[in-house]
Each structure stands twice: as C-alpha cells, then as structure tokens.
C-alpha cells in the first residue's frame, strides 16, 4: 500500500564542516524513517578545503539514499543553498547548516505543525549560543532587516526550515551570499505563502568558524543587504504600483 505521507529531501550546505557533517547526516537517517517512507539526504560541499569531501564520499558508500554534491570552488552560502533547493526531488525540503548549531532531531517538531494550510515551517532560536560579539551583531542585524524588509517572522536568520518544494515553482532565488535567507523569506512572504513557527535549540559551534557574522565581512554584508533591499523593497514596490496602474487603465479602457 502506498504511503500518504509526503516525501522529504533533507540537505545540508557545508563549508569546511568535516568535524560535524557526518553526525548530521547520520542523525537525519535516524529521523526520516519516522516521518516518511520516501526520503533522501543531500550535502552540498561548497568547495571545502578541509576533509569534508572525504567524509561525504565515505558516507555515500554506506547510505544508498545519500547524495553528496561537490562544488569545485566556493560559491558562497547562497550558491550552496540554491544548489540544494535545485537538487531536492521530494515533496518537502528541509535544510539546516552543516556546522551542527541546530539539531536535525528537531525536524520532528517542524513536521508536526505542517498542516495543509502551511507552506513553510520556520524555526526560531530559543536562545542564541554564540560569543557575545556575534550575539550583538545578530541582534542589530535582526532588528535592522525586520524594519527594512517588513518581515513578520520572529527570527529570519534561523536556518532551520521545512518548505514545500512547490514554492520554488513561484519563487526564484538569485543571491550567492548569506543574504539569500532574506531573499528567500521576503519572496515567500510577498508571494502569499503561509508560515508557521516553531522554537528550536541553538548550540555552540564545536568545529570551524562562521562565514557570515564576523567583523571583516560586515561591510560587504551591509552593501549586499542594501542592494537586496533596493531590489526587493523599493523597485518591487514601484513595479507593483506600475502593474496596478496598468490594470486600472485596462479596466477604464474596457
């Protein structure tokens, strides 16, 4: 008898996450059979210079439903996510980062609130387990982007999401940097998709270092953020107003 439970793709973007990615993949394979009979696990290795590739290739010999994808060169966090979304083949797509600051076991909690009316289940951090400077940067960033983009979610930069794959028939992502999360949520929100939110735990990083929230990258991130704001908010508003005027002219002409 065919299961009525939706199929699930799980993917992890990874960049120099050799010390953590193996445990995430194995955890995903423990969780998924509880939720569905049809699943796959993917890791997008974004040009790692450590031994991430070797770990993934070894896992692929042990898990038939595991698929590693290797970028020859680093394409950035956005590039890794875009590859992951494009490579997922199942009804639902779950992703979280390869640094193990989130626990894939909590995918169960997201799945429980995915009703037919919900398109995306977004995690939000119960408490942030990061050094003080990252907490400060994260807080300023959170309030800044919420104001600039008009976000309704309580935690836009929590990369722990369960998404119906069909949304990508409507939403096209373009960012290559960490601002892709803003682009994703903004476009999903503007397209009228429905969100649910679930609290999740956030853990200390035990291996590697952050590629996004650090002081040398702040200026570049700010420039990318403002470019995205101009494109999605300012130009987006102009295009909507222009379309509304054209519709009104068409009604008047009729």
Q: Is the pLDDT of residue 72 over 70?
A: yes
Unique residue bearing structure tokens 């490579």: 87
Q: Is the pLDDT of residue 241 over 80?
A: no
- Mean per-residue pLDDT over the chain, rounded: 87
Q: How far apart are CA 182 and CA 19, in angstroms?
A: 28
Share of the chain above pLDDT 90, in %: 64
Closest of 89, 49, 50, 82 to residue 67, by C-alpha: 89
Of the pLDDT bands very low, low, confident and very high (cuts 50, 70, 90), residue 2 is very low
**C-alpha of 7 from chain center:** 18
Q: How far apart are CA 112 and CA 101, in angstroms?
A: 21
- Cross-sheet strand order for the sheet of 195-200: 66-71, 39-46, 8-14, 92-96, 160-164, 120-125, 195-200
Of the pLDDT bands very low, low, confident and very high (cuts 50, 70, 90), residue 245 is low
Q: Is the pLDDT of residue 138 over 80?
A: no
Q: What is the pLDDT of residues 33-43, one digit of tens each?
A: 999 999 999 99
Indicate the pairing of strand 120-125 with strand 39-46.
unpaired
Q: How far apart are CA 56 and CA 216, in angstroms?
A: 30
How many Cα atoms sit within 13 Å of 45 on the Cβ side?
23
Helix 132-149 to helix 180-190 angle (10° resolution) is 30
Q: What is the pLDDT of residues 171-201, one digit of tens each?
A: 999 998 888 999 999 999 999 999 999 999 9
pLDDT at 250: 54
Handedness of CA 228, 229, 233, 236 (dihedral sign): negative
Of the pLDDT bands very low, low, confident and very high (cuts 50, 70, 90), residue 210 is low
Indicate the pairing of strand 120-125 with strand 195-200.
parallel
Q: How far apart are CA 89 and CA 108, in angstroms?
A: 20
Q: Which CATH number fits domain 8-215: 3.30.540.10, 3.40.640.10, 3.50.50.60, 3.90.550.10?
A: 3.90.550.10
Q: How far apart are CA 94 and CA 35, in angstroms?
A: 12
Q: What is the pLDDT of residues 74-113, one digit of tens each?
A: 999 999 999 999 999 999 999 999 999 999 999 999 999 9
């Amino acid at each position: 008898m065919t299961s009525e439970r939706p199929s699930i793709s799980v993917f992890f973007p990874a960049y120099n996450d050799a010390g953590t990615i193996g445990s995430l993949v194995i955890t995903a394979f423990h969780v998924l059979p509880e939720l569905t009979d049809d699943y796959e696990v993917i890791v997008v290795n974004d040009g790692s210079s450590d031994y991430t590739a070797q770990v993934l290739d070894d896992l692929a010999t042990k898990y038939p439903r595991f698929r590693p994808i290797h970028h020859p060169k680093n394409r950035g966090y956005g590039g890794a996510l875009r590859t992951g979304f494009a490579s997922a083949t199942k009804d639902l797509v779950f992703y979280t980062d390869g640094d193990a600051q989130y626990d894939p076991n909590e995918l169960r909690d997201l799945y429980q609130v995915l009703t037919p009316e919900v398109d995306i289940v977004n995690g939000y951090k119960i408490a942030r387990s990061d050094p003080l400077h990252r907490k400060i940067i994260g807080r300023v960033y959170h309030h800044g982007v919420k104001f600039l983009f008009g976000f309704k979610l309580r935690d836009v930069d929590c990369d722990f999401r369960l998404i119906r794959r069909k949304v990508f028939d409507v939403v096209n992502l373009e960012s290559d940097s960490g601002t892709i999360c803003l682009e994703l949520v903004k476009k999903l929100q503007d397209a009228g998709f429905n969100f649910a939110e679930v609290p999740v735990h956030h853990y200390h990083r035990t291996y590697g270092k952050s590629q996004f929230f650090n002081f040398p990258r702040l200026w570049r991130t700010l420039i990318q953020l403002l470019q995205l704001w101009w494109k999605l908010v300012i130009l987006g508003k102009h295009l909507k107003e222009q379309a509304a005027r054209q519709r009104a002219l068409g009604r008047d002409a009729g």
